[in-house]
Structure 1
Amino acid sequence: MIPKYRKQYNQAFSDEKYNQLKGILAEKGGIEPTFRVSESPIFLTKEFEAKLIDASESIISQIKAMPAELLQKAIPDNCRVPNDTDQPHFFTIDFGVCKSENGSIEPQLIELQAFPSLYAFQKVYEETYCEVYPFLSEIKNPMSHESFKNYLKELIVGDEDPENVILLEIFPEKQKTAIDFALTEKLLGIKTICLTKVKKEGRKLYYENNGTLTEIKRIYNRVIFDELDNIPDLTPEFNFREEVDVKWITHPNWFFKISKFLLPLLQHEFVPKSYFLHEFPENENLEDFVLKPLFSFAGSGVNLNPTKEITDSIQDKENYILQRKVYYEPIFEDINGDFSKAEIRLLYIWRENDERPILLENLGRMTKAAMVNVDFNKKDAIWIGSSNAFFG
């Protein structure tokens, strides 16, 4: 894909430049990334980008047309949070880079979610690639750093004083995405606060800010709500299910509403056929499908080779889907002549008064393993890990 830039990049690459890239990221974030940073960006054509956008726009239109009551069915009763919103503030959508039956390279939908990904990190990551390899500036995202910052600030901070806005996470210092939290703090002037440090008085929430109890008016939420129940001895003062005077960015209910729950309901040439497990037709071949729990994160619980014995043993079949397998095409050549596979996550924001979301940035993942997820990159290889896509 874009042979000119792949050849130029591979010729310019060196271990010194890779270490320089990681060093600049660590300097900008104040901490090192705790996930693997790929040695290389992903180069894709404008034609491929157009296919991504076309599929995304179609999916967005289909979601907008769905009745609110249908989306509400996706929320587990024990995870329902009061004061839901009409639309999410974030929308992210993952596509694998695959080969069609006629041999053309095309995207295939993997999953989608209304949950913030590494927005701040990915913009800095893209800019850092351009610092280390200046020729990449020819094909970088045309959105300026200032415009990107203004979009995120308007969305997350709004009209509030940044000290009344927090990034909320559970034990943030232990999260693999900690560098994104640090970069978000620098970008927006807000603080990252652990859920265990949030104090509640009546309907109001507070946190300690340099010794002063400060009211929280807006929450940039990075907590995966359904994971809280799996953390032993967690006793925060604030329970998500309670009525509180706070604005969620984005509301936790949307984590469930825009999720794998939608995959069986979407139609497009770049959307692989999916079924809820309890509705899987007898005329389909189980070997052609991947089994996914509806509510999981970072690839946990996914079974690439489900058997009838496995699917029959599942009690809550309505909480699983079977998604037709797609085959990632290894087309991203490294300096040794080996090839990596990849997927692209498009990072949108959705302002409250806008009809449609705005695409801000992308996130790439590269692998030589069976699953395209940074957690599954156990192989001692290069051209694997977190990346960024350039289109030219």
Structure 2
Amino acid sequence: MIPAQRQKYNQQFTQEKYKNFMLELEKGYPEIPFRVAETPVFVTKALKEKLIAAGEEIINLIKQPNFKELTQKSIPADWNVPNENEQPHFLTFDFGICKNEAGKLTPMLIEMQGFPSLYGFQIHLSNTFRKCFEIDHSTNHFLNGFDEEQYIKLFKEVIIGKHQPHEVALMDVDAPNQKTAIDFFVTQKMLGIKILALEDIKQVGKQLFYEEDGQQIQLKRIYNRLIFDEVAGNSDIFKDSFDPREELDIEWVTHPNWFYRISKYTMPFLNSEFVPETRFLDQVESVPADLENYVLKPLFSFAGMGVIIDVTEADINKIPDPENWILQRKVNYEPAVQSPDGGVKAEIRMMYLWPDGGEPQLCINLARLSRGKMIGVRYNADFDWVGGTVGFMEE
């Protein structure tokens, strides 16, 4: 997207360099099970400013006094966790890179989450790109004036809070074997917190404990990476550990209810040039005549599962719970990243940290490249110059 940077990068690129880059990325860590793209994305200052403006519009909605009231129905009754706090600790907004009517690149919102992303790994990935390739220092993977030291300080504040690192744990069902475990290990190294599988945590009264060297250590705060959507209908996973839906003496980073509040459910409430027309399916009075320009998405699904891209009226009529679906105008990605053999589509995730009692702060980003119908890495396994990466943005 920055022509000079793209040309410079592509000229220096070799498969040997990419192989060495992957070896460096995985050094000291288990093998990464998802595809890492051969290239970063070079983002112009003009596009960066649009991405920032788009994010600010969304945050203005989230900070409205009635936001919780607007989104109360987003939380499934079976998965409503008590003691919700007043704010999420993370905001991630995914924007497809498109062309507007004037022919300029512009972001269009695809997805949003009040849930953590790869806040540790993206720093490691960016540093490894810089180490293995010549990346111009007029670009930066950090935003909002952050550098690495400032970022880690804020990250610690958000995750650890007022506690000691041993009182805080990153938790997922089977944390060490998750697809994103590389992020868990980088975060542990960065912050000094524990990584615990759900079964490692035991409940005594309202308190939670884990065992280390024969000692029971009380957990005060959980960096939650467990996505309830992935375990819905399987409450048995909690029987040998603890059930998050009970009253517990624990702080959540971030509280599980925010996963639902800030999600596809929020998009129909946004009216912006950066947000495609989105309506709850049960509020669509007549099926659009140009249905081929729309996509049908379940509200409660993860990583693009259940999305119907080529929608028919029959698909709509078959939906038993239209209140749990959205009909969204399709976003046409521009193949704006030039690979050695043609254009590649890009999506950029703007990533915010929101400390207790503070304001949301835009810190870093994540990018994904695609040649397939959908952006996620699982949908692009058979291509090259696709997968997870990072945006180096013009200062």
* TM-score bracket relative to the smaller structure: over 0.9
Structure 1 counterpart of 2:70: 70
Does the residue aligned with 1:136 lie in a helix, a strand or coil?
coil
Asked if structure 1 preserves the Cα contact closer than 8 Å seen for 2:75 and 2:257, the reply is yes
Asked if structure 2 preserves the Cα contact closer than 8 Å seen for 1:197 and 1:236, the reply is no
Structure 2 counterpart of 1:368: 371
Asked if structure 1 preserves the Cα contact closer than 8 Å seen for 2:220 and 2:250, the reply is yes
Matching of residues 38-49 of structure 1 within 5 Å: 38-49=37-48
Aligned-pair distance for 1:59? 1.1
Task: Write the distance in 1 (CA, Å) between the matches of 2:118 and 2:233.
Answer: 23
Aligned-pair distance for 1:209? 2.0
Q: When the two structures are superposed, what TM-score results if normalisation uses the length of structure 2?
A: 0.95
Asked if structure 2 preserves the Cα contact closer than 8 Å seen for 1:126 and 1:140, the reply is no
Query: Does 2:134 correspond to 1:129?
Result: no
Counterpart residue type for residue 62 of structure 1: L
Matching of residues 280-319 of structure 1 within 5 Å: 280-282=284-286, 284-285=288-289, 286-319=291-324
Aligned-pair distance for 1:340? 0.7
Aligned-pair distance for 1:172? 1.4
Structure 1 counterpart of 2:141: 141
Matching of residues 171-210 of structure 1 within 5 Å: 171-210=174-213
Taking only the aligned residue pairs, the percentage that are identical comes to: 44
Does the residue aligned with 2:203 lie in a helix, a strand or coil?
strand
Asked if structure 2 preserves the Cα contact closer than 8 Å seen for 1:366 and 1:372, the reply is yes
Structure 1 counterpart of 2:245: 241
Q: Which residue, 323, 348, 354 being the options, matches 1:350?
A: 354
Asked if structure 2 preserves the Cα contact closer than 8 Å seen for 1:41 and 1:390, the reply is yes
Matching of residues 222-237 of structure 1 within 5 Å: 222-231=225-234, 234=237, 235-237=239-241
Gaps of 5+ in 1: none
Counterpart residue type for residue 368 of structure 1: R
Aligned-pair distance for 1:233? 5.1
Cα distance per residue 1:193-222 (max 9 Å; x no partner): 011221000000001123321100000000
Asked if structure 2 preserves the Cα contact closer than 8 Å seen for 1:364 and 1:386, the reply is yes
Structure 2 counterpart of 1:359: 362
Asked if structure 2 preserves the Cα contact closer than 8 Å seen for 1:74 and 1:261, the reply is yes
Task: Write the distance in 2 (CA, Å) between the matches of 1:298 and 1:91.
Answer: 16
Aligned residue pair count: 388
Asked if structure 2 preserves the Cα contact closer than 8 Å seen for 1:129 and 1:136, the reply is no
Counterpart residue type for residue 383 of structure 1: W
Task: Write the distance in 1 (CA, Å) between the matches of 2:189 and 2:255.
Answer: 23
Task: Write the distance in 2 (CA, Å) between the matches of 1:165 and 1:20.
Answer: 35
Counterpart residue type for residue 206 of structure 2: R
Does the residue aligned with 2:107 lie in a helix, a strand or coil?
strand
Gaps of 5+ in 2: none
Task: Write the distance in 1 (CA, Å) between the matches of 2:61 and 2:221.
Answer: 29
Task: Write the distance in 2 (CA, Å) between the matches of 1:325 and 1:66.
Answer: 31
Asked if structure 2 preserves the Cα contact closer than 8 Å seen for 1:22 and 1:32, the reply is no
Counterpart residue type for residue 348 of structure 2: I
Structure 2 counterpart of 1:390: 392
Cα distance per residue 1:343-380 (max 9 Å; x no partner): 000110111212x310111010001101011110033x
Does the residue aligned with 2:232 lie in a helix, a strand or coil?
helix
Aligned-pair distance for 1:32? 2.1
Aligned-pair distance for 1:99? 1.0
Asked if structure 1 preserves the Cα contact closer than 8 Å seen for 2:296 and 2:325, the reply is yes
Does the residue aligned with 1:51 lie in a helix, a strand or coil?
helix
Task: Write the distance in 2 (CA, Å) between the matches of 1:16 and 1:226.
Answer: 40
Counterpart residue type for residue 371 of structure 1: M
Q: Which residue, 336, 341, 344 being the options, matches 2:345?
A: 341
Asked if structure 2 preserves the Cα contact closer than 8 Å seen for 1:89 and 1:349, the reply is yes
Alpha-carbon RMSD: 1.4
Structure 2 counterpart of 1:271: 275
Task: Write the distance in 1 (CA, Å) between the matches of 2:111 and 2:65.
Answer: 18
Aligned-pair distance for 1:103? 1.3
Residues 175 and 45 (structure 1), Cα distance of their counterparts in 2 relative to 1, 3 Å cut: same
Which stretch of structure 1 is more off in the superposition, 188-197 or 284-293? 284-293
Structure 1 counterpart of 2:90: 90
Counterpart residue type for residue 205 of structure 1: L
Which stretch of structure 1 is more off in the superposition, 5-14 or 67-76? 67-76
Asked if structure 1 preserves the Cα contact closer than 8 Å seen for 2:9 and 2:134, the reply is no
Does the residue aligned with 1:299 lie in a helix, a strand or coil?
coil
Asked if structure 1 preserves the Cα contact closer than 8 Å seen for 2:54 and 2:274, the reply is yes
Aligned-pair distance for 1:43? 1.1
Counterpart residue type for residue 162 of structure 1: P
Task: Write the distance in 2 (CA, Å) between the matches of 1:152 and 1:327.
Answer: 34
Aligned-pair distance for 1:314? 1.1
Structure 1 counterpart of 2:107: 107
Which stretch of structure 1 is more off in the superposition, 224-233 or 324-333? 224-233
Structure 1 counterpart of 2:10: 10
Aligned-pair distance for 1:283? 6.2
Task: Write the distance in 1 (CA, Å) between the matches of 2:35 and 2:137.
Answer: 23
Counterpart residue type for residue 39 of structure 1: E
Task: Write the distance in 2 (CA, Å) between the matches of 1:377 and 1:128.
Answer: 22
